[in-house]
Amino acid sequence: LVYLWGSLGILLVLFTRHLKESPRWHESRGDHASADAVLRDIEASVAAEHGPLPAPAPPVAEEPVTKAPLRLLLQRKYLLPTLLLTVLWVTQTIGFFGYSSWAPTLLAKEGFSVEKSVFYVALTTVGAPLGSYLAALVTDRFERKWCLAAFGTLIAVCGLLYGLTFNPVLIIVFGFLVNLFERGYTALGYAYSPELFDTRGRSLGTSVSYGLGRLSNAAGPLIVAALYNAHGYRSVFYFIAGTWLVGAIALSVFGPRTRAARTAVAPRREQDPVAG
């Protein structure tokens, strides 16, 4: 049943034909007709909702760019954001999936019945959709780097408290909060990641950093199992809390501010993100 439900995601392919590519992406490759068509659709949609649009800015000439090679990420303007986002997604993946994949088993090993363990964990997942909604409320009101850092810190605290209590009510409450803030963190991360790159490096930088994060999921559950066997139940949650704090600190110290940033009109005018 799990695999059947997961396979339904392939139906989303049917809707991809309705997704429009960025006009700047078309323009950067010399496909001016496609860029103009997409932009006209966007303008028509905005005009229908908000009224007549202001006159467009004077055009700026762009030379078509070739496919971005992997070595592009070694350039300083791409390397630093890629490393930061890799830390973001690795800590998120290990911190959450290490917790969620083992939570029922760990509770069962600490004396709770399997039925109660699964039931408690199922109740905590109610926080997930609410977390996405919470992210929608704050994403454009505050700096995303600080929202991510705050959410990551709250996950660390709630996750640690989850591991330090054996009261069923508190397990559900703290588990609920972990799921709530984690889904919000992930949604904010998806919005923040592409903002750290210009058009040429955006797809490559975000996909490489996110892919490395997913790859770390191969190690996360193994680390959790090793910690539990060697140091006991609570060591797992110290590790998970520490993982989230690493991500929060990295974002606080090295994460660029993006709220006031504007998309450059041409690649040659784009500047490196400035940390703050």
Q: DSSP letters of 81-147?
A: HHHHHHHHHHHHHHHHHHHHHHHHHHHHHTT--HHHHHHHHHHHTTHHHHHHHHHHHHTTTS-HHHH
Tell me the C-alpha distance between 156 and 32, whole Å.
Answer: 48
CB 210 within 8 A of CB 85: yes
What is the architecture of the domain spanning 75-254?
Up-down Bundle (1.20)
Beta bridge partners of 275: 256
- 128/202 Cα distance (integer angstroms): 28
pLDDT string in tens for the chain (276-residue length): 667 877 887 887 777 777 788 887 787 777 888 888 888 888 888 888 888 888 877 776 665 566 667 788 888 888 999 999 999 999 999 988 877 777 777 777 777 776 777 788 888 888 889 999 999 999 888 999 999 999 999 999 998 998 888 888 888 899 899 999 999 999 999 999 999 988 778 888 999 999 999 999 888 888 888 988 898 888 888 999 999 999 999 999 998 988 766 444 334 444 444 444
Q: Where are the domains of the chain?
A: 2-50, 75-254
Phi, psi of 256 (to 5 degrees): -70, 150
